[in-house]
Structure 1
Amino acid sequence: MLIQSTSSNVPQVLYTAAQVRQLDALTIAQTEGGGYALMRLAGRAAFRHLLRHFPEAASIAVFCGGGNNGGDGYVIAEMAKQIGKAVRVIALSNPEKLKGEAAEAWQNASESGIVAEMPELSLIKEILNDCDVVVDAMLGTGLTGHVREDYAGVIDVINLSGKPVLAVDIPSGLSADTGMMLGATVKAVITSTFIGIKRGLLTGQSADVVGDLWFDDLGVSDDVFGCVLSSVTRSNFAESRTLLPTRDRTAHKGQCGHVLVVGGDSGFGGAVLMASEAACRSGAGLVSCATIPSHIGPGLARVPEVMFREVAHRQTLEEMLTSASVVALGPGLGSGPWGQMCFQTALQYCQQYNMPLVVDADGLNILAANHLQLPEMTVLTPHLGEAARLLGCSVQDVMADRFASAETLAEKYQATVVLKGAGTLVAASGNGNTRINVVAEHGNPGMAAGGMGDVLTGMVASMIAQGMDSFNAACLAVSWHASSADMAAAKTGEPGLTATDVIAGLGDAWKQAVTLQEAGRE
């Protein structure tokens, strides 16, 4: 999801709904005219976004709830009427009972000639048929429980109408904290959000309902943002790419790290091969692969740069481990005797010598069944099912709050955790604090295909091999992986996207990011 801004820049820090309320309160204390003046700024920003995207819209239907989000809607309705738009306002709560800034917004809208209607669903359908665009100002960020039945019915009618929707601050029904739909949820084409970016807009189910995300900080001062601290940030490829250490002109392969990929039991050679090739394509100086004999020939034919070796006994793997600088453990590993032997051998060696370790796929399943101490520099890369097994809960429990799940995993295993999915989270625990990074500006549904995780595992290991710490390595690998997938999907179409397409496009994605960054400096 590309975040666009009408302010000078887009902040990296993300906030919960409660934290944004703190920002609001601090800003109101500094704003001449108080809360209503701030509400008008928010309404004006959303209205600008509406005009930018729907300049030809002659008629607007504004749906207003009973809180400050509804107040924003009344401001928008007033502004639309002032420039000659045909405006219908549908109130889901009696505007005469509004309080505070929302009541003031309604009063001014009413004085400008706005009439608030409270029609039955059948009439709402007719209103929607006659409008060009819908403004959703119903529930806002304060929603914590399930959407009430009366609101749900209206939301369903809006979604079925097929009319484009601009959501004010957040689509009604979406949790600002978790990104989960709390029942019926408005599917917006554009979401106009203010002051602080709510973290739920970038992960969970948000990608299905937020549409294009536009941000305006409303001129809030840096001093205000400095008063509300958050451990959750976002990144994109252009930002995280700069964290990779620059190579000297005299660099040689021995200075760029040695990745050892361990896996590929019978029938799963593709997984270990893709992880190995991805490690090569993302910059590792050397890549070795410990696997079974039947995968060596095909592996060498596809990626001759990788040093494939048959591992039948513990001693052979121990010999390979002595020359590695990071281990990628799990792609196609299986849970049989061979996979168990490889897992135990690699883990024990990494523990003894504190070698960085990236664990994925079957390695995660073995770890879940045998909770073991991990080396300090460990990265776990679970999808939802693997995360549930690691936490001993259901997939629904993990999805209910991805932030809490990622944080709990990081604390439980004292590792960096990549919780995969739309709006992938990278969490790292240390010194009593957990950092969480949301990587959301790249990626597409075509990535829901086999092998994508194996590619990511090889890339994370490669970033660590080249000198990055585990947290930043994971952030860069996730964003680069997703950016390459977007470029590949632009060529193949999302349905035809494969993991090997992503590997093939890594170089082009990197070059594009460099070009864009250099263009931005001009």
Structure 2
Amino acid sequence: MTAIDNVSLAQRVYTVEQVQKGEKPAAEACSISMMQLMSAAGAAVFKHLQQDVKAPAKMAVCCGEGNNGGDGYIIARLAQEAGYQVDVFALSPNKTISSKTDNNAERARLAWRDSGGQEKAVNDCEPQRYDIVVDALFGVGLNRALEGAAAALVHTLNEASAKVLAVDVPSGLNADTGSVPGVAAHAYKTVCLVAHKRGLLTGKAKNHVGQLVLEDLGIGDAFAKQSKATYVRVTTEHIQNWLPRRQPCEHKGDNGHVLIVGGQPGMSGAVVLAMQAALRCGAGKVSVACHPEVQAMVAAAQPEAMVRAVSSQKDLQAMMELANVIALGPGLGQSEWSREVFSWVADHCINTNKAWVIDADGLNILAAHEQKERLGSRVILTPHPGEAARLLNIDSNKVESDRFSALNALRDNYEAQILLKGAGSLVTSDAGQFILDAGSPAMASGGMGDLLTGLVSGLVAQGMPEAEAVVAAGIWHGRAGELAGNEGERGTLASDLLPYIRQLVNGKIT
């Protein structure tokens, strides 16, 4: 498993507090003053601006009162010197500043004025007149909704579909949680400074950040040495060797046996998708235990799987004993049959310490189940925000307002390996905490979660530890969604991901 101590700075993810407290000591360790650090930030963002828009393009730089605004004034001065047509729009234009100020943002502002630069009120900004707009209004310290002139400006930028380059964080986005309590700028690119802030990688942030690039300003190594990352950002390249090459003499018994339990009348497709994902990711054998009324339908969908109807605990017992891992929930429903089956599987897995994955209606039954405090040490939960809310007995909006806190609460309550699904899925496991950098809006259709359930269980069956399987499955699932979505985000079906899942687990594509 990728250890936090052995990953690059680009993979390390921090809280806002960590960056705010750690950047000054890191700069001092590198003999860099905070004014020099601000100058480096402005220069780093300007470098990206030059790559995207060439002089003499028209540029608007929108500056706030804090350090983010100071970065903006430096960018404006550098752009003006390079031949861009620059207008600066300030929240408090022409504010009186003492020439003896020791505030770095104010010193950067005075340097802009000394170069002949002017300031206009943000209310006067007409974004359609500019080739690019630099958002330097508010930085990572903002944890409330934008108000007044700042909110009005961001509304104007968004309505005009302006080309916005964000400095460190799009204004209005909470860089710690990924939530947007009011309005936030839609950037085509965000230049994150010093280190990645966790809120830029998950939740609503995905609608606002655009392309995310990191500039460590020359202090990244020093910062990483003194600040332990809270999350690791994982992509497909980081998990390429997690499934070993098969030996020539391997047979199906060497690659595990998955049992998928679910599929009540009207929801047989869910177990079929989970079954197909488990097969396509390499599980040696896959069985399905389903409601008697759908047994023939499920069996006809995939001849390679073994399908049995379950009317009693006896029907299920032998199947559970043969399986290496049990996936409970796809198409399970919440009927009396569903609740009985849940209890039978839970008792078996807890008593035998068998790996099991709970998703979909399995999670909904779990939310009210008396056994939820004793699930055993080998359980994996894969809730979406609505299911997480039911597990925590809170509103789903509260989950989305702080996905990190919701994930931690789930971990505290259930002591499981947990994947909280959504844009920038989050994982907490025995191996650490991870942000999964894969996925696509093409995946906003039914059945995607069932594929993930089959994929996780199939990897566990092949011998991958649960803490690794939940990360690898989440990444390969998201990447398959990206690849399938390349043919059109609208109309992508869960089954469209299956060919890509097969290629990903075999290392044919990344």
TM-score (norm 2): 0.94
Code of the aligned partner of 1:115: Q
> What's the counterpart of residue 46 of structure 1?
45
**How does 1:463-482 map onto structure 2 within 5 Å?**
463-482=459-478
> What's the counterpart of residue 4 of structure 1?
none
**How does 1:117-156 map onto structure 2 within 5 Å?**
117-118=120-121, 121=123, 123-125=124-126, 128-156=127-155
Deviations 1:7-44 (A, max 9, x none): x9662110111111123112221344501111111111
Distance in 2 (CA, whole Å) between partners of 1:57 and 1:447 is 41
Asked whether the 8 Å contact 2:56–2:85 carries over to 1, the reply is no
Distance in 1 (CA, whole Å) between partners of 2:240 and 2:310 is 35
Residue 164 of structure 1: how far off its partner (Å): 0.3
**How does 1:166-315 map onto structure 2 within 5 Å?**
166-315=165-314
> What's the counterpart of residue 55 of structure 1?
54
Asked whether the 8 Å contact 1:92–1:118 carries over to 2, the reply is yes
Residue 56 of structure 1: how far off its partner (Å): 5.8
Residue 514 of structure 1: how far off its partner (Å): 4.6
> What's the counterpart of residue 483 of structure 2?
487
Deviations 1:144-194 (A, max 9, x none): 122222211111112122220000000000011000113110110111111
Residue 359 of structure 1: how far off its partner (Å): 0.2
User: Secondary structure of 1:505's match?
Assistant: helix
Distance in 1 (CA, whole Å) between partners of 2:64 and 2:276 is 53
Code of the aligned partner of 2:189: I
User: Secondary structure of 2:192's match?
Assistant: strand
> What's the counterpart of residue 443 of structure 1?
439
Deviations 1:175-225 (A, max 9, x none): 110001131101101111111001111101011111111111222252431
Change (3 A) 1:245 1:371: farther
> What's the counterpart of residue 325 of structure 1?
324
> What's the counterpart of residue 452 of structure 1?
448
Aligned CA-pair RMSD: 1.8
Distance in 2 (CA, whole Å) between partners of 1:435 and 1:22 is 23
Residue 66 of structure 1: how far off its partner (Å): 0.4
Asked whether the 8 Å contact 1:57–1:133 carries over to 2, the reply is no
User: Secondary structure of 2:89's match?
Assistant: strand
Code of the aligned partner of 1:453: G
User: Secondary structure of 2:458's match?
Assistant: helix
| More moved, 218-227 vs 448-457 | 218-227
Change (3 A) 1:265 1:221: closer
Code of the aligned partner of 2:37: L
User: Secondary structure of 1:259's match?
Assistant: strand
| More moved, 338-347 vs 22-31 | 22-31
Asked whether the 8 Å contact 1:330–1:364 carries over to 2, the reply is yes
Change (3 A) 1:183 1:465: same
Residue 130 of structure 1: how far off its partner (Å): 2.1
Distance in 2 (CA, whole Å) between partners of 1:173 and 1:167 is 11
Code of the aligned partner of 1:438: I
Distance in 1 (CA, whole Å) between partners of 2:398 and 2:370 is 20
Asked whether the 8 Å contact 2:72–2:134 carries over to 1, the reply is yes
User: Secondary structure of 2:10's match?
Assistant: coil
Asked whether the 8 Å contact 1:23–1:225 carries over to 2, the reply is no
User: Secondary structure of 1:404's match?
Assistant: helix
Residue 488 of structure 1: how far off its partner (Å): 1.0
Asked whether the 8 Å contact 2:55–2:82 carries over to 1, the reply is no
Residue 140 of structure 1: how far off its partner (Å): 0.7
Residue 55 of structure 1: how far off its partner (Å): 2.7
Asked whether the 8 Å contact 1:275–1:455 carries over to 2, the reply is yes
> What's the counterpart of residue 409 of structure 1?
410
Change (3 A) 1:51 1:176: same
> What's the counterpart of residue 109 of structure 1?
112
Code of the aligned partner of 2:277: A
Change (3 A) 1:409 1:515: closer
User: Secondary structure of 1:176's match?
Assistant: coil
Deviations 1:57-101 (A, max 9, x none): 611000000000001101100110011111000011355458621
> What's the counterpart of residue 503 of structure 2?
508
Distance in 2 (CA, whole Å) between partners of 1:487 and 1:10 is 27
Distance in 2 (CA, whole Å) between partners of 1:221 and 1:486 is 30
TM-score (norm 1): 0.92
| More moved, 384-393 vs 147-156 | 147-156
Asked whether the 8 Å contact 2:281–2:505 carries over to 1, the reply is no
Change (3 A) 1:89 1:46: same
Asked whether the 8 Å contact 2:30–2:222 carries over to 1, the reply is no
> What's the counterpart of residue 378 of structure 2?
377
User: Secondary structure of 1:71's match?
Assistant: helix
Deviations 1:452-478 (A, max 9, x none): 000000101111111122221111101
Asked whether the 8 Å contact 2:231–2:433 carries over to 1, the reply is yes
- The answer on 1:398 being equivalent to 2:393 is no
Distance in 2 (CA, whole Å) between partners of 1:99 and 1:446 is 50
Residue 370 of structure 1: how far off its partner (Å): 1.2
| More moved, 397-406 vs 228-237 | 228-237
Deviations 1:101-145 (A, max 9, x none): 1112112222222112225x2x322xx232111000000101012
Residue 292 of structure 1: how far off its partner (Å): 2.3
- Of residues 496, 504, 517, the one that matches 2:491 is 496
User: Where do 5+ consecutive residues of structure 1 fail to align?
Assistant: 1-7, 517-522
Residue 293 of structure 1: how far off its partner (Å): 3.3
Asked whether the 8 Å contact 2:15–2:176 carries over to 1, the reply is yes
Percent identity of paired positions between Structure 1 and Structure 2: 39
Residue 396 of structure 1: how far off its partner (Å): 1.3
| More moved, 157-166 vs 243-252 | 243-252
Distance in 2 (CA, whole Å) between partners of 1:116 and 1:32 is 33
User: Secondary structure of 1:142's match?
Assistant: coil
Distance in 2 (CA, whole Å) between partners of 1:12 and 1:242 is 17
Code of the aligned partner of 1:112: S
Asked whether the 8 Å contact 1:426–1:471 carries over to 2, the reply is no
User: Where do 5+ consecutive residues of structure 2 fail to align?
Assistant: 1-6
User: Secondary structure of 2:107's match?
Assistant: helix
Distance in 1 (CA, whole Å) between partners of 2:48 and 2:248 is 47
Deviations 1:281-309 (A, max 9, x none): 01111111001234333333331111111
Residue 400 of structure 1: how far off its partner (Å): 1.3
User: Secondary structure of 1:488's match?
Assistant: helix
- The answer on 1:77 being equivalent to 2:72 is no
> What's the counterpart of residue 420 of structure 2?
419
